[in-house]
Each structure stands twice: as structure tokens, then as C-alpha cells.
Amino acid sequence: MTGLSTIYELAAAFRAKQRSAEDITRDCLDRIEAAEPSVHAFVSCDRAAALAHASQLDAARRRGEKIGPLAGVPVAIKDNICTTVGATTCGSQMLEGYQSVYNAHVVDRLEAAGAIVIGKTNLDAFAMGSSTETSHHPTTRNPWDKTCVAGGSSGGSAAAVAAREVPGALGSDTGGSIRQPASYCGVVGLKPTYGRVSRFGLVAFASSLDQIGPIATNVRDVALLLNVIAGQDKCDSTSADGAVPDFESCLERPLQGLRIGISDEYFCEGLHAEVDRAVRAALELYQAEGTELVPIELPHMKYAVACYYIVAPAEASSNLARYDGVHYGYRAAKPEDIVDLYSSSRGEGFCPEVKRRIMLGTYVLSSGYYEQYYLKAMKVRTLIKEDFDNAFRRVDVIASPVAPTTAFRIGEKLDDPLAMYLTDVYTVSANLAGICAISIPCGFDKCGLPIGLQLMGPAFGEEILLAAAHQYQLRTDHHTKLPGCGD
Ligand code: GLN
């Protein structure tokens, strides 16, 4: 496998008239064609639409029109983000062939910046899962070892970037779905602060946790994508107002004086020794470069997975009520009556994992159990948020592993939902607290599978987070390795 240029290189080459958008797009499409039979990162790719968009950009450049910051850069979009080109399936039979009539806000912004949407990427059904195995489409394979999962739920986006099919992609993160696949695939994934990026046009899973974010091979590219997608949108009342900084110009902030918080809660039972070693080696590097490592306590972190698996299914059960066989997507054939239409359409259209979440969510919201489960989980959520608030009074970022292990084998956890849920043990707390967090490659295990380092920052602290991650990449080369060429 050969390298594909980075987003900043491609954007610069287009701006300097060294490469045409059509040439860049053709290169990507060829890479997709070559990789897809064994990777399955994409669920759809409209070659003609991408090339047509590219030639429009070339014509605009010839006419001397103003060029956007991502002009000529192809990007892939997770298939739970609405696009008017191609279907938006959410990896579910329920939305098979569903055609959105509008673009998600982030897609409009990318296109306004000159990016070329090249296709839609695979995910677990409705973003519920950690491996893309719950998808209605074929499971995405990890480019580093095709017998292993790419992670999830944004496994398609992470694998497409890792296999250098595209230089960048968007994912969504409700409990780790950008960071965990980024870690398993050896790429960079950012979950922005809740409210940093508009969710308009993101198919809702758990609305108080969902956030769209970028995936790319390096931190600078992630910053460039965030520059374009961040900011208030009047169609999403939870998107934050206020000025959006230039995330690229903050990258040079030095490491000296940075305080990194370390908590034992993130280095607990179940953490594989090789992951532990790689993360600790990264921390030693930070320390050698002048950052201070500060022990911190996050006493409620041990409840994060339990809390998440009450809050997220509760919201999902209500969000997914709209799939009734009438308004959207799949409809059962020959229903006997209206009740049968609803129940058969939902029974046939949803996969077992989605049904499990809906049942869990309905249970914890039902009368008599609401106080016992949902209300209690909401209180725990507040305590988790307060743990972070307290910690960020003393430190700038918090470091941890992204996941307890490297990518697992396809099929290994499919029959054991609890084992699957535990892959989220280090990621869900950032969503519950609404803070930002990034996954960056920090090494490889003895099988050559990538290991991810997670850095978490306070709400709207992306500048410091990205700088800390970028400075690490300036001093290491893990992110430059290509599948098939690992350590
Ligand atoms: N793996 C987690 C879940 O299944 C997170 C999913 C996500 O972030 N979309 O809920």
C-alpha cells in the first residue's frame, strides 16, 4: 500500500494549481476500487457525482473564483449523516435505500469549503455497536489485519482513512464511536465538545451525547476539518454560539508547562499489558518534553459504562420511535392491521442489537423503573461531569488509553453484548460529561495492530487538546506507518 497525500498537502497542491480536483478525485476513486473488495469501508460511492463536483471545482479555479480551504479534497461521510447524493442507510435495513432530501449542516459546510464528498461509510446499525458487525452491510475489515474488526461504530470512516482510500472522513461519537475505531485503525479521531458541531442531519441515536467529528491520518488534518464543520447552526439549538478559533494556528503551542492528568481509574482491570505499556511510554515522552504529569482522581468513573448504557438506550428508545413503517424506510409486506404494520415493520427492519437497546431504554424509562434507573443514571452523570470539572481546575488535559485492547477478531464478541459494551469503558465518560477528546496512534502490539492514546480536554478546549496531540506527532512516527508496514 502506498501513501495518499494528507489533506493539507492536497489542499495546497490544488490551490497552487499543481493538481486538479479531478486528478485527486480519480486517484481516490481508484484507491477505493482497489481496497474495497477486502476492506468494505464504504456502503456507497457515487463515482460520477464525485467527478462532476471535481470538474466544477477545476472550472471555478480556472475562472479565478475564490477557492475554499478544503477545495479539491475528497472526504468520506459516515452513513448516518444525511446527504442528498446517495442513500443514508444508517447501516440498517430499516433505512435501506432511504434518500434524504437535505444535506446535514456539516456536509453543506464541507461542500461550501470545496471538499468533495466521495461516498458514505459503513457503521453499526444506527451507530449502536463497537465493530460494524451490527451493520446490515458487510462487516468492515481492519486494514492492519483483515480478520479483525475496524472498531465501531464509525469503523468504515476509520478504515477508509487507514487504508488511504480517502485523506479524511466524518464520523459520529455517542460513546466512543470516533475514537475507538480511530485507535483500532491507527488514525486520528476527534470527538468535539458537545455543541461544537451542528447535529442537524445526523440521524439521532442519543441526542444528549451524539457529536459529529473528523477522522484523518494526522492532527493538522483533523484541525482543518474541524475549522470547517465547527460553529453555530440555527437548525441545531444545542450548537454553541460564540467565535470559533482557528484550530490550525493553535497547533504550535509548546508542551512546556502543560499539565497532563493521569487517573488510576483509566488504568484498571482488563487493560492489556501492551496497551498499558504503549500509553505509559507516550506519557514518558510528554514528561521528557517538559509537561508535568499530575495524578488526579475521578472517583465516579467506575460507573460510566453502567450510566451510559442506561442514558443512551433511554434516548435511543425515544428517538427510534419514529421508525414505524409509515414515515420512514422499511415497511413490512401485507400487514393485517395498523398495529401489525408497526410491529412487523419494526420487528423485521431493526437488527437484534437495536432491538436490545430499544427494550433496555423502554424499560428504564417505564413507570416504576424511571426513578430507579434513569433518574439515578442522570445523577451519576452529573457526578461524572463534576469529577472532570474538578480535574480540569488542576490540569490542562487528561491522558488514558482509548480502549483496553487492540482490535479484536471479527465474531469474537458478537454473542457477548457485555464484552462488547466494555470496549467503551474509557470513552463513554467524555460523552457523558460533554467534553472533547481525541485518539492518536501511540504504538503497535506484537501482532502489528495499532494502539491509541486518548487525550481529553475541557469543554471547548479543543485548541489545547489538538496542540498537545500535534506536538506528540511531531516527535513520533506511529501515525506515518501504513497497514502492512507496522512495527
Ligand atoms: N459503542 C458504543 C455503543 O454501542 C458507542 C457508539 C457510538 O458512539 N455511536 O453505544
Torsion (CA) 22, 24, 26, 30 in degrees, nearest 10: 180
Its sign, for the CA torsion 202, 203, 205, 206, is positive
Residue 252 maps to a domain: yes
- Please name the amino acid found at residue 235: C
Most informative mutation of 92, 133, 135, 177 for ligand 1 (most atoms within 8 A of CB): 177
Residue 283 maps to a domain: no
Cβ neighbours, 10 Å, residue 339: 9
Residue 279 maps to a domain: no
Q: Would the CB of 189 count as within 6 Å of ligand 1?
A: no
**pLDDT band for position 485 (cuts 50, 70, 90):** low
Is residue 177 part of the annotated active site? The answer reads: yes
Residue nearest to atom 5 of ligand 1 (CA): 175
Q: Which of 100, 131, 135, 153 is catalytic?
A: 153
**Residue 4: its pLDDT value, please?**
76
Largest Cα separation within the chain, whole Å, is 70
**Residue 140: its pLDDT value, please?**
98
pTM: 0.98
**Residue 147: its pLDDT value, please?**
98
**Residue 340: its pLDDT value, please?**
96
CATH of the domain at 183: 3.90.1300.10
User: Can you name the residues that pair with 212 across neighbouring β-strands?
Assistant: 172
Portion of the chain with pLDDT greater than 90, in percent: 96
**Residue 2: its pLDDT value, please?**
64
How far does the centroid of ligand 1 lie from the alpha carbon of residue 134, in Å?
11
How far does the centroid of ligand 1 lie from the alpha carbon of residue 85, in Å?
26
Residue 272 maps to a domain: no
Q: pLDDT tens digits, residue range 21-37?
A: 999 999 999 999 999 99
What is the rounded distance in angstroms from the CA atom of residue 121 to the CA atom of residue 160? 8
Q: Record the cell numbers describing residue 388, joined without a space.
A: 472532570
Mean pLDDT of the region 275-280: 98
Nearest to 117 by CA among 81, 76, 86: 76
How far does the centroid of ligand 1 lie from the alpha carbon of residue 65, in Å?
42
Q: Would the CB of 153 count as within 6 Å of ligand 1?
A: yes
Q: Record the cell numbers describing residue 133, joined without a space.
A: 458487525
Mean pLDDT of the region 472-482: 96
What is the rounded distance in angstroms from the CA atom of residue 99 to the CA atom of residue 79? 11
Q: How many degrees, rounded to 5, is the angle at CA 182 between CA 179 and CA 183?
A: 85
Residue 373 maps to a domain: no
Mean pLDDT of the region 5-13: 97
Is residue 318 part of the annotated active site? The answer reads: no
User: Mean pLDDT, the chain, as a whole number?
Assistant: 96
**pLDDT band for position 394 (cuts 50, 70, 90):** very high
Cβ neighbours, 10 Å, residue 321: 12
- Please name the amino acid found at residue 131: S
Q: Would the CB of 424 count as within 6 Å of ligand 1?
A: yes
Q: Would the CB of 462 count as within 6 Å of ligand 1?
A: no
Mean pLDDT of the region 104-110: 98
Residue nearest to atom 10 of ligand 1 (CA): 128
Residue 98 maps to a domain: yes
**Residue 1: its pLDDT value, please?**
56
Expressed as residue numbers, the domain containing 222 is 7-260+392-480
User: Can you name the residues that pair with 294 across neighbouring β-strands?
Assistant: 261
CA atoms in the 13 A half-sphere facing the CB of 324: 8
Residue 204 maps to a domain: yes
Q: Would the CB of 182 count as within 6 Å of ligand 1?
A: no
User: Can you name the residues that pair with 190 across neighbouring β-strands?
Assistant: 438
Mean pLDDT of the region 385-402: 98
Question: Could you give the angle at which helices 21-39 and 155-162 cross, rounded to 10 degrees?
Answer: 110
How many domains are contained in the chain? 1
What is the rounded distance in angstroms from the CA atom of residue 439 to the CA atom of residue 400? 10
Q: pLDDT tens digits, residue range 142-201?
A: 999 999 999 999 999 999 999 999 999 999 999 999 999 999 999 999 999 999 999 999
How far does the centroid of ligand 1 lie from the alpha carbon of residue 277, in Å?
26
Mean pLDDT of the region 370-379: 97
CB 421 within 8 A of CB 396: no
Mean pLDDT of the region 90-99: 96
**pLDDT band for position 327 (cuts 50, 70, 90):** confident
Is residue 249 part of the annotated active site? The answer reads: no
* pLDDT at residue 244 is higher than 70: yes
Residue 296 maps to a domain: no
**pLDDT band for position 486 (cuts 50, 70, 90):** very low
Q: Which of 177, 183, 198, 317 is catalytic?
A: 177
- Please name the amino acid found at residue 318: S
